[in-house]
Amino acid sequence: MKKYLVLLWLLLPLPVVVMHFGRGQEWLARDKAYAFVTKAQIAEGKEDWQQASRYYGEAVKCVKTDNRELKLRLDLAQVRTQFRLGEAVAAIDGVDKILDDPATATMPVEFKRESRELAGRIHYYAGWVMRLEGASRELWMEEAELSRQNFRLLAEESAAKGEKEYTSKQQENLESAVQLQRLSLTELMARPLPKEGQCMNGKGLTEQMSKRRGQRGKKPGRGDNEDGPPSKGAGMKRFEPGSGS
């Protein structure tokens, strides 16, 4: 009987060990990721984009690749910080990858909207800056068109749901993207580049894009150029920052 008691006592820590090296490690990783995300969000609030980017990067390291929802959210957060750091090419690649990911279709509508709206803003400012840099029409127009397509899709989808306030906001963004295509360079240069887009200025964006960009395939938010005047509205009204952007 004494032998069995000793054996039972020796086996008592086993469930603890299993938990530590099994599910326990997963929970610990999530706690670490949450701690990094919290620090990153505080840094974002202070517009310390470099620090925020670093913390989000650390959070990504703590997350298993099979946790698609959390991974996508962290990817989007990194795109936001890349955009604000003026890393336009990385931000464009990152947000397009998110929109192309099949897992994005299963995400909450708020996430899908934030992703597409951020894509629209990044492409919009990229097109604006490239025009100021003297990029060829084909190069900057691709960015302006991608912006227009993303905002148009957001406006149409929300209008179909009867969400008037959100539709109005995206319609204004759509009109801005259309005006970017139609304004002369002289007219565009007379307008101040919004603060949100100034981070891309002076980074040689045109040179970077000309080395790596070709015509994109036909995907949602990347369709053919469609003719027709923009709806009446604000035209070049400045974008309002979205959630966390």
Q: What are 133-186's pLDDT values in tens digits? A: 999 999 999 999 999 999 999 999 999 999 999 999 999 999 999 999 999 999
Within a domain: 134: yes
Within a domain: 8: no
Within a domain: 127: yes
Within a domain: 72: no
Taking CA 50 as the corner, what is the angle to CA 47 and CA 54, rounded to the nearest 5 degrees? 120
Does the CA dihedral 207-212-215-221 come out positive or negative? Answer: negative
Helix, strand, coil distribution of the chain in percent, nearest 5? 70, 0, 30
What total of structural domains would you count in the chain?
1
How many whole angstroms separate alpha carbon 21 and alpha carbon 10?
18
Within a domain: 231: yes
Q: Residues 176, 177, 178, 180: what is their CA dihedral angle, to the nearest 10 degrees? A: 90
Domain housing 174? 107-239
Within a domain: 101: no
Within a domain: 88: no
Within a domain: 115: yes
pLDDT tens digits along 13-51: 555 444 444 444 554 566 788 888 889 999 999 999 999
